Chain A
Amino acid sequence: MSETLYVQLLDLACGGLLLTAVLVLWRRELAVIIRVFAVQGAALAALVAVLATREGSAELWAVAVGVLVLRAGVLPHLLRRALAGAGEARRETRPLVNVAASLLAAAVLTLLAYAVSQPLVALSPSAATQAIPVGVTVVLIGFFVLVTRRRALSQLVGFLLMDNGITAVGFLTTAGVGLVVELGVSLDVLLAVLVLQILTSRMRETFGDTDLDELRELRD
């Protein structure tokens, strides 16, 4: 793979990541959000694949496949299952920060991520590290979704966005953090999502709705 192609593919994958993250902020239909999230998973897998091709590492290819299965397949599936039980609450009707402001915030977060990532880029300038700000942006946008979205499901997506961003940063900085850790992280994420999904259904059982802002029983 030529240097230019590598960089273009890398940028494409990263662009996909960023775009999907922004789309999550933009859209209100939960089903659409899940679909966007699946696309992001694919983009992440693509990113890993590009890196794997570049490095020529079979191991990394395997990881790419794993990422694809987990993030574009299993997790969206779990989310969809959670949504299926959600009844009519299928829209993120009234986010705490409206869409326009959210998009503006995303822009600011992007700038922030860029500014913050400079030392990382400077440490080892390369095409991959140049893309680190994208990963950080996705993390921050994920956090932002977590903070501003009312539906349990959108929070779940927010958390996963963060995780996608972190994974992206991980792959962009180095070739991962060691296999044991990698596996552990993935397992943890999967389990966390499982737990959250179960909790979502339990919440629905007990509260009837999953507007998180109504969870105010525990307070001082």
Chain B
Amino acid sequence: MMLLVPVVLPLLGALVYLLFGWRRATAWVSAVSAGLLLAVAVTLAAGVTRSGPRTAMAGLLRADALSAYMLLVIAAVAVLATAATPAFLRTEINAGRATARTGTRHSLLVQLFLAAMTLAVLAANLGVVWVAIEATTIVTAFLVGQRRTRAAVEAAWKYVVICSAGIALALLGTIVLNFASTHAPGAAGLDLAALAAHADGLDPGVTRIAVVLLILGFGTKAGLAPLHAWLPDAHSQAPAPVSALMSGVLLSVAFYAILRVKVIADGALGTGFARAALLVMALTSLALAAALLIGIRDYKRMLAYSSIEHLGLVAFGAALGSPAALAAALLHVLGHGLAKAVLFLGAGQVLQLTGTSRVDGVRGLASRHPALAGCFGLGVLALVGLPPFSLFASELGIARAAFTAGLAWQTGLALVLVLVIGAALVNHTSRMLLGAAHDHPVPAASPVPVVLLAGLMVCAALGIAAGPVPVLLNSATHTLVVTR
């Protein structure tokens, strides 16, 4: 039953908002729910590492170390995002951009969003994973369009259409895989564990098609090229806590599906096939993010493109497929989730303070709001991959694994692109943060970004000494490595 809790908990939260609406008393319900989720995730992770995978609901839900880890990522980022939500909504309402009803809907949908994501990572069946991931699209569509401006509606439309189209490919892939699976010895259906175990019996010709479609399809949701284009639009238009959740975990959850698919592909087709596909996607995503970040003019879009970059890096790590690489990629998921959540929340505050999301529109932030600017700056440095933040450790791990795998040129290219991206990020951010603030003599009340600071500190602590996390990562990679 332990496995049902993470799915039900947010649903209960949603129920609360449905019944009582968003008000002073219920404002913190979502944060509490996320906190409980985190506690459950930690317990589950501990349990799973100790006593192996567990199933529930007649085999529909299944948690192995990887699921537990992803649940941990979801919960950690959710805590940050939901903790920042009350202040965010209050400011929006005070500014007249939202009402209590918006608050209710926002909180309700966020809880549903969380439930869908937890379901996605806990589902034992690839079909259910698909359903859950498609559900996230539907749930977040209105969150993206919450502000109802032209841009918000446009973003929501693009988001739903592109994601649905992409995810439809994944559905086709799932069906094709199912076809292959029913005709394979062992007849595993779509159960992930069984598929992985009996992957070598799958028909290679059919599985190839399935894998390509699945990777492309889930890749869409993970923000990987070529169907990445919804991401900057949606992330820049969504309210800050939602952007944080989408960028911090939704992408990773979709990537989780790719990881699951990759195990099957590796078993059926050998490691080369999925590796080639992921490598191409990763490098394309990196190149794309690099090209677009150079001249970016909107800082929320900047963060969104950086998400494409980081998912590209994760894909790169996953493509390598060695335990070290996978552990690094998974650590990268967590680090990126935390850092990106911090940045989107920070960007939300900047937007609320300055009223513009254009890079040009923000000047001398460090002079006006030093704490906020400090968090934002440190977050960007974390994204660039500087220690002590954990992204450094994971990028280092990916690079090391890549050279060990003999992919020197590809890694070199990827690192050059990372350099360009880092340069672009630093360039734009420094223009926002640094310099004198002469146009605003009296600083507006500067919010103390406790949540942001906490997120950064966790990210840094993770990069210095991850404690028990590597153990979890280790057992998670075991489920992902095919020894054939």
A interface list, Cβ under 8 A from B: 116, 118-120, 122-124, 136, 139, 143, 146, 152, 155, 159, 162-163, 165-166, 169-170, 173-174, 177-178, 180-181, 184-185, 187-188, 191-192, 195-196, 199, 202-203, 206-207, 212, 215, 217-218, 220
Contacts and interface: CB of A to CB of B under 8 A. Distances in A.
Nearest to B144: A199
Most buried by B among A116, A196, A217, A218: A218
A122 B183 CA distance: 11
User: Which 5 residue pairs of A and B lie closest in terms of their CB atoms, listed nearest first?
Assistant: A119-B205, A181-B127, A184-B131, A173-B179, A218-B233
B175 A177 contact: yes
Given A123-B183, A184-B130, 6 more contacts: A120-B209, A180-B128, A181-B130, A187-B131, A202-B145, A212-B157
A67 B237 CA distance: 36
B448 interface: no
Nearest to A171: B175
Contact of B174 (A116, A165, A177): A177
B295 A220 contact: yes
B193 interface: no
Interface in B248-300: 292, 295-298
10 contacts: A119-B208, A159-B168, A169-B175, A177-B127, A181-B131, A195-B138, A195-B141, A199-B156, A206-B149, A212-B157
On chain B, which size bracket covers the interface? 35 or more
Nearest to B191: A178
Given A119-B206, A166-B171, A170-B175, A159 B164 contact: yes
Contact of A143 (B148, B165, B205): B165
B125 interface: yes
Interface string B199-219: 000010110110000000000
A12 B206 CA distance: 26
B164 A192 contact: yes
A66 B166 CA distance: 25
Interface of B: 60, 125, 127-128, 130-131, 134-135, 137-138, 141-142, 145, 148-151, 153-158, 160-161, 164-165, 168, 171-172, 174-176, 178-180, 182-183, 189-190, 203, 205-206, 208-209, 232-233, 236-237, 292, 295-298, 301
B217 to A, nearest CB: 11
Given A123-B183, A181-B190, A203 B165 contact: no
B303 to A, nearest CB: 13
Contact of B127 (A143, A184, A187, A212): A184
B151 A192 contact: no
Contacts of A166: 168, 171-172, 175
Contact of A191 (B138, B178, B297): B138
A181 B174 CA distance: 11
A199 B134 contact: no
A218 B158 CA distance: 10
A178 B125 contact: yes
A146 B219 CA distance: 19
Contacts of A180: 60, 125, 127-128
Contacts of A118: 205
A192 B296 CA distance: 31
A196 B206 contact: no
A136 B131 CA distance: 20
B127 A220 contact: no
Contact of B153 (A143, A146, A203): A203
A162 B165 contact: yes
A177 B131 contact: no
B190 A215 contact: no
Contacts of A192: 134, 137-138, 160, 164
A178 B194 CA distance: 15
B201 to A, nearest CB: 12
B154 A173 contact: no
A174 B444 CA distance: 64
Contacts of A220: 232, 292, 295-298, 301
A217 B150 CA distance: 8
A218 B131 contact: no
Given A159-B165, A162-B168, A206 B203 contact: no
| Residue of A119, A177, A191 contacting most chain B CB atoms (<10 Å) | A177
Given A119-B205, A220-B292, A215 B161 contact: no
Nearest to B151: A217
B155 A218 contact: yes
Contacts of B142: 195
Contacts of A199: 141, 145, 153, 156-157, 160
A178 B191 CA distance: 11
Nearest to B58: A180
Nearest to A117: B209
A203 B301 CA distance: 22
Nearest to B129: A181
A173 B175 contact: yes
A139 B131 CA distance: 19
A207 B155 CA distance: 13
Contacts of A185: 127, 130-131, 134, 171
B232 A188 contact: no
A218 B236 contact: yes
A84 B444 CA distance: 49
B172 A139 contact: yes
Nearest to B161: A155
